Chains A and B, each alone.
Chain A
Amino acid sequence: MTNRFRTPSGGRIDRRARVSFRFDGQTYDGFRGDTLASALIANGVHLVGRSFKYHRPRGFISAGSDEPNALVDVARDRARTAPNLRATQVELYEGLNATSQNRWPSLGFDAGAMNDLFSPFLPAGFYYKTFMWPAGAWKRFYEPKIRAMAGLGVAPTLPDPDRYTQNHAFCDVLVVGAGPAGLAAALAASESGAKVVLCDEQAELGGSLLAETTATIEGQPAAEWLSQTLATLTARDNVTLLPRTTAFGYFPHNLIALAERVTEHLASPDPNQPRERLWKVRAREVVIAAGALERPLVFPDNDRPGVMLADAGRTYLNRYGARVGERVVIFTAGDCGYRTALDLKAGGVAVVAVADLRAEVTGDLPARALAAGIDVRPATVVTGTSGRLRISAAHLAKVKDGAVGPSEKIACDALLMSGGLTPSVHLFSQSRGKLVWDEAAGAYLPGTSAERERSAGACRGVYGLAAVLEDGYAKGEAAASDARTHAAPGRAAAPASVAKGRAFNAAGDHASADGFIGATPHARNPAFVKAFVDWQNDVTVKDIKLATREGFRSIEHVKRYTTTGMATDQGKTSNMNALGIVSEAIGEAVPKIGLTTFRPPFTPTTFGIFAGEARGDLFDPVRKTAIHDWAAEHGATFEDVSLWKRAHYFPKAGEDMHAAVARECRAVRSSVGMFDASTLGKIEIVGPDAAEFMNRMYTNAWLKLAPGRLRYGVMLREDGFVMDDGVVGRMAEDRFHVTTTTGGAPRVLAHMEDYLQTEWPDLDVWLTSTTEQWAVIAVQGPKARAVLEPLVEGIDLSREAFPHMSVREGRICGVPTRLFSVSFTGELGFEVNVPATYGRAVWEAIFAAGEPFGITPYGTETMHVLRAEKGYIIVGQETDGTATPDDVGLGWAVGKAKKDFVGKRSLERAAFFRPDRKQLVGLLTKDPRTVLEEGAQVVADPKALVPVPMLGHVTSSYMSATLERSIALAVVKGGRARIGQTLVVPMPGRMIEVDVVEPVFYDPKGERLDG
């Protein structure tokens, strides 16, 4: 295809490097240095998308990150497909493959465009009004239909094959934006040796200078000054330049998030390079030089392809050598439009008319336009446009004394609009600085700072090349100076330095503060007119006025009701005009209405950059015990318990979980099994006051526990609810070996540290986490003693010398051990603690010694079944943070004679004595084969009036191989008084009758514990 709209020369594109690309299946040519947008415009393509709600044909509006319309899908392959990219920011590379979005079946003919005809039925708030009836229809019918018709691009379903990295960086001065203000700031800041980072979202640094053809700086053409300045900055070791890098978030204490696109612009990305890089920059000082955005004008049919921002038209011509049309009409509210008119005319474009909203048109730029023979029409508005997929005429009308006269159609293929400039205060506002309305600038400008930052140039309403350069230089100088004096990061303080400053000699046509906010007048029937305020969300003047008529006055409410400013462009082009329309409709001045909040990200940011390396195996740390590999080699399946991998069960060939668990349970009850309990939390509590500390932290009495004995401990929060439990061994007068639940270990240690450090710093006690130091092997079953006896040295394992709930130190397999006689199964049991490095060797030795007894390794599932048969609770399963010790049958573990312990006073509250508290009970289904679902509700009478009173829920439920029937634990209101009653567990389609029983199903007297 030809580049029919390409100028014969000029621009910053590399005309020797031809680049072939595809858009919607058609092949085009462009040049290196083009964006997808500039290359399409050079080929005469303006129709690039369909709108979100009405499916109206849409073209480019801007030349930068503020683009609301030209969203495309760029695909390298099926996995490397990025939706919703702004064509104005997509750099062209050989073979680039882009498609338009939100159209079906094709861009030229779109079935959804009938929404446009039905638009009277799609007013503001239509989601809220129309689709609420009948109940349920939203989910079943409306939402899927609307999603299919509306919506933006489609995310790929394949995993992202690319790599994303994250960097931490520290600097004295971060400069955001590399236009004239940012460049001058970086020059000044780096002069003094300060470490400077300069970032800009564009591929080339230079900002507005990249589109300057006539301006001069220090006597040189702007482009020449730019390349010299970049060379100077590049040569300085203390400067880091980051093009293609968007500062998208400003977080407390000058943490700025930058998204760098590393390989996105390359035809063949280096696989060793990440696709994108997240920079977390901690800057002592920040200079925001974000520039300003041109505002559209809001007039009827202002969304026709070919209607664009004036400065965008100038940028396409000067920077990319691409003409936006051959016959152009300009609609302006200030001098900005004339700058474009003059450049376009010089570039060989016919500028057929300039419609100026102002009644009086004076000044240098309009005068030069008149002198150049351009038809300048003061007091003129655009009241409509013609054309279907591209503008063919603009309708111009005179305004006199507020009345709009008849319109005249002027043929054109592009209409450029300029409503003035909106300073880009996004980052400043994100930093929680206060914005103030500036009447002279007609804009919100940065006011009081919250962070150590300062704005420079157009983003604070300073216009004119020399003024911008001087402002930037002064801010850079001050930032570097403040970075030296306020050395400590994270100390916000008012900037104190006064910059010496530097004068710049610069000349050129510059932007000015004049402009217009709101909707321009027209004499047409508003009911049949669409004047767009927010292009991306299809919000019109009518929608906003309707919202105000329906009583919405706060701009935050108008925003949410009409969705204006809520699209992916976050209202960069629309917010101010929406304010102006609300202002006019409710008769309040713009600053009285307030402003919506600016939130990160400044432009849409990929999920990949946030995930960084934290994907797949690196998503979360994995904790494995010393015995993990043995279990894996012996066919264990694993389950995640907090970060731990725990052996779940050990299936033999042909066994499912149910069969494996039944076999493992029978082995423990009839002979012996072994279990890896290493994940239990362990804390060593040492010191002269260790027993006193234990006494205060746990409900139990500890002072009289003899060394060599174990005790089951219950820990409460101060509010009296069960927090954790575990077996504790007193190793010596001043030493306790505490165990906690697997998931609770860090919480318990923090809880203990809290009390020790802040309430009782007088206690002489030391706490050390020893979870990782010990491997723990539980050997359980009637043959447990016989298995261990030959392996142990220095410990008499006889029942008399080593009774249940004792601890002895000695050796096993030649390795030091703390041997517990303890059971979580109800059988005779031991827990062998050995240093973790010996864990596997000792495990294997015990396994070998147990072979004659058929020793069976078992996993967490069997452990759960065995303990449930005995009615032993699991904290977090039978408790939910609202259970007292008495609720779950642990009243016996509370030392009532103790004067105080954490949670004791709370246990005396009246509510804890209510008879209808939920209490732990056992449930037996009438049908022994029915296994209840954990979490199922328990009720007394399922036929009761809705809502049926809920008595409680099932907390644990298993098929018990030992009892050859199902068993369940539950917490039920007044449960202990209900023992003997029949209750009901309602499930979908059936009612399950259950008998309430004592929560101990097996060996209630505990006769098996001593073997």
Chain B
Amino acid sequence: MLIIDCPWCGARPEVEFAYGGEAHIARPSDPSALSDQEWADFLYNRTNPKGLHAERWRHLHGCGRYFNAVRDTVSDFFVVTYKAGEPRPDAGTEGGDR
């Protein structure tokens, strides 16, 4: 079971958190201006990388905050966590620091 570093509360066990999908996919400010294809991309298409992945987590059984994390989908381990609204930090080298 992973230990996840909530940017608000600190290190807590995985069971306190809920996964929230890929991060940095902003909801379009005017959805009606989008074509069907553009809207479908927003709704459904995700990068699904092998390696570093920026994703959303919520400290559900804690402070309740959504935050972002960079996780290595190969090792499963987190590289960094950061507050929602902050830019994705430079996540370091491929594969992270394990």
A residues in contact (CB < 8 Å) with B: 251-253, 255, 282, 432, 450, 488-490, 492-494, 718-719, 750, 753-754, 757-759, 761, 899-900, 904-906, 908-910
Contacts and interface: CB of A to CB of B under 8 A. Distances in A.
Contacts of B60: 750
A283 B11 CA distance: 14
A630 to B, nearest CB: 32
A490 B39 contact: no
Contact of B11 (A252, A489, A899): A489
Closest 4 CB pairs of A and B: A490-B3, A905-B31, A492-B98, A253-B3
A758 B84 contact: yes
B76 interface: yes
A252 B2 contact: yes
Contacts of A754: 20, 58, 66
A255 B11 CA distance: 14
26 contacts: A252-B2, A255-B1, A450-B98, A489-B3, A489-B11, A490-B2, A492-B97, A492-B98, A493-B97, A494-B98, A718-B27, A750-B60, A753-B58, A753-B64, A754-B20, A754-B58, A754-B66, A757-B84, A759-B27, A761-B85, A899-B32, A900-B31, A905-B31, A905-B32, A909-B39, A910-B36
Nearest to B78: A490
Given A450-B98, A900-B32, A490 B11 contact: yes
Nearest to B4: A490
Given A252-B1, A252-B76, A750-B18, 14 more contacts: A253-B1, A282-B3, A450-B75, A489-B11, A490-B3, A490-B5, A493-B98, A719-B43, A753-B66, A754-B58, A759-B27, A761-B85, A900-B31, A904-B32
Nearest to B1: A255
B52 to A, nearest CB: 15
Nearest to A767: B64
A388 B31 CA distance: 80
A140 to B, nearest CB: 43
A719 B45 CA distance: 13
Contacts of A757: 65-66, 84
Contacts of B56: 758
A761 B84 CA distance: 10
A1010 to B, nearest CB: 38
A88 B12 CA distance: 40
A899 B33 CA distance: 11
Contacts of A750: 18, 58, 60
| A490, A754, A909, most chain B CB atoms within 10 A | A490
Contacts of A753: 58, 64, 66
Interface in B1-60: 1-5, 11, 18, 20, 26-27, 30-32, 34, 36, 39, 43, 56, 58, 60
A302 B32 CA distance: 75
A910 B85 CA distance: 34
A492 B85 CA distance: 27
Contacts of A490: 2-5, 11
A494 B76 CA distance: 17
B77 interface: yes
Please classify the interface of chain A as helix (H, G, I), strand (E, B), loop, or mixed, using the class held by over half of its residues: loop
Contacts of A909: 36, 39
Nearest to B43: A719
Contacts of B2: 252-253, 490
Contacts of A282: 3
A904 B5 contact: no
Given A253-B2, A450-B75, A492-B98, A718 B20 contact: no
A493 B66 CA distance: 27
B39 A906 contact: yes
B26 A251 contact: no
Contacts of B84: 757-758, 761
Contacts of B76: 252
B66 A492 contact: no
Contacts of B18: 750
Given A251-B1, A253-B2, A489-B11, A904 B31 contact: yes
A749 to B, nearest CB: 9
A19 to B, nearest CB: 41
Nearest to B34: A905
A905 to B, nearest CB: 4
Contacts of A492: 77, 97-98
B20 to A, nearest CB: 7
Contact of A488 (B11, B31, B43, B75): B11
A910 B64 CA distance: 37
Nearest to B12: A490
Contacts of B65: 757
Nearest to A757: B66
A432 B2 CA distance: 14
A494 B96 CA distance: 12
Nearest to A280: B1
Contacts of A761: 84-85
Contacts of A759: 26-27
A757 B58 CA distance: 10
A766 to B, nearest CB: 12
Nearest to B96: A492
B65 to A, nearest CB: 7
B30 A900 contact: yes
Contacts of A251: 1
| B34, B60, B76, B98, most chain A CB atoms within 10 A | B98
A450 B26 CA distance: 34
A351 to B, nearest CB: 50
B58 to A, nearest CB: 7
| B2, B5, B64, B77, most chain A CB atoms within 10 A | B77
A322 B64 CA distance: 62
